[in-house]
Structure 1
Amino acid sequence: MIDVLETAAEPTRRRLLQLLGCGEASVGELAEHFPVSRSAISQHLLLLATAGLVTARKDGRRRYYSLDPRGMSRLRDSLESFWTGVLLDRRAGPPGGRRRRACRTIQQPRASQGEIPCPLTSPSSSRLTPTQPFP
């Protein structure tokens, strides 16, 4: 069987899983959300089905896809396997209750009155930069 984590890691397939989280949808309905052909979306869905993350049902000439709860459970288990004791300890914070700050916010100059900064071409006012490495 195909690795569910590797399959879901690709951005188009990840977005398809998110869309199917809203409920069953046809290939055409899903393809409306992407700049690629319906055929390309069908290929992604076929790979997701092969990995066991989605199921398909045929109704006439259309195929409808939905999330497979068993496959999504395997995906969740794969992700949760990374949460080892070390990560759980870090989430709780360092001993003594004092947390280290891993990132700081850099303030950017404000746009002049009437000017709207473009998030794609101008730096974000909430961009995070590392201030110290993790141990």
Structure 2
Amino acid sequence: MVRSRRFLATLGLVTMALVGAACSAVTQETGPMGSPVALAEGEAACEIAYGDDAAMVIGPVTPGDVASGFASDDTAFTLMVADIVELHVEKGGDSRVIGLSELTEKGVTFTRDPSFDGEDAAYTITCWRA
């Protein structure tokens, strides 16, 4: 009798934990290059494949916040989240701002290849927002 009560109590705790996990406010988004990132409502993240470097994920970034990542050649990628998401790319005094107005809709993804010139390593940027 005592064992079945313990079993039922344990089963109840496991069930509550599974239900709590299923009801979480965080949605799971997956980047097109296969790096999953959990995003809460309004957050954004970018995945960057740069030359021969391993792909990096910047984010998740909450509205009003900023996050940065750096490639092996010191190219800096900075993600800023507001009404419009902006990705700032800086290298050797050159800078570029990519306004991502498409990301105001939940779950929209896209890929771009904005290299500075023919000598720089090409990079592919994929961003998404929950």
Q: TM-score, normalised by structure 2?
A: 0.21
Which one has a bigger Cα radius of gyration? Answer: 1
